[in-house]
Structure 1
Amino acid sequence: MVSALDIRADLLINRLKDTLKTIESIKPPEWALFSKTGSGRERPPEQEDWWYIRAASILRTLYIEGPLGTERLRAKYGNRKSRGVSPSRSVKGSGHVIRKILQQLEEAGLVEKDGRKGRKVSAKGRSLLDKIASEIAREMKIEVGKVKVP
């Protein structure tokens, strides 16, 4: 059986993004058009559907790396901040964006809290990711661990 670990991240995230757009509880807030995704960024994202891309990426990360909290996700989605003449430094991503996405994914039933460890993918979320992964594998004719060339 093919899982989300066997599929390339870009293919899985793009397909998952389209699926998340159909879920009613996952939608960008009004302020998302104007906000940056971290203090190291100079401008807001240019893609119109960046909220769904980030939500899909967070869901995939939770699937792979297990229960994670907001701080670990902030570190993952951080970047290097340009400080002019001084050397660049690493900064964390926006906690507000990550927290809102986690709350929306939890409301949709795709993510659940795991005590004090953070959040993890629920059974519904795991089955959604595996279903999308198997669809992509079928289209690309991928077997588990192997790539078939047509």
Structure 2
Amino acid sequence: MVSIRYTDQQKLVEKSAEELKKVIKSPEWSTYVKTGISRERPPEQKDWWYLRAASILRKVSLDGPVGVSRLRSYYGGRQRRGHKPPRSKKGAGKIIRTILRDLETSGLVKTVDKPKRGRAITPKGQKFLNAVAKQVK
């Protein structure tokens, strides 16, 4: 069995994004929105929504139950502030919440309360990622 932990992360996310295009749909506003307060412009890639969704699915699978706040920290970045020194800022929470909601409705992720609160991957989601990892290897 091929583990997603030991496959190439970039290839896994790209292939998962292609497969997720069949499962979820990006909202209309995704072409105009920035991915966080630390960004100056919206993403240039047309399918960035599916790449982010695949990355979030992989992150939920590897890190167990994970919440929106932790994912916001992971997808955040450094905000440039002119002459003042830069600061770390979190990523956009609306994007992460919307993607997690779409993944929940498709049955790949579920909300759990124990052992800690957050989103965890379902057996269907793990099967999906293992199938993609097998294709990548």
Instruction: Classify the TM-score, shorter chain.
Output: over 0.9
Q: In the TM superposition, what are the counterparts of 1:49-128 in structure 2 within 5 Å?
A: 49-115=47-113, 117-128=117-128
Report the counterpart of residue 131 of structure 2 in structure 1. Answer: 131
Is residue 41 of structure 1 aligned with residue 68 of structure 2?
no
Report the counterpart of residue 2 of structure 2 in structure 1. Answer: 2
Unpaired runs of at least 5, structure 2: none
Q: Which amino acid aligns with 1:125?
A: G
Deviation at 1:27, TM superposition (A): 1.3
Deviation at 1:28, TM superposition (A): 1.3
Alignment RMSD, CA only? 0.8
Give me the whole-angstrom Cα distance separating, in 1, the residues matched to 2:66 and 2:39.
23
Unpaired runs of at least 5, structure 1: 138-150
Matched residue pairs, number? 135
SS at match of 2:30: helix
Deviation at 1:134, TM superposition (A): 1.3
TM-score, with length taken from structure 2: 0.96
| Higher Rg | 1
Deviation at 1:6, TM superposition (A): 1.4
Identical columns (%): 47
TM-score, with length taken from structure 1: 0.88
Give me the whole-angstrom Cα distance separating, in 2, the residues matched to 1:30 and 1:98.
15
Q: Which amino acid aligns with 1:22?
A: K
Q: Which amino acid aligns with 2:70?
A: R
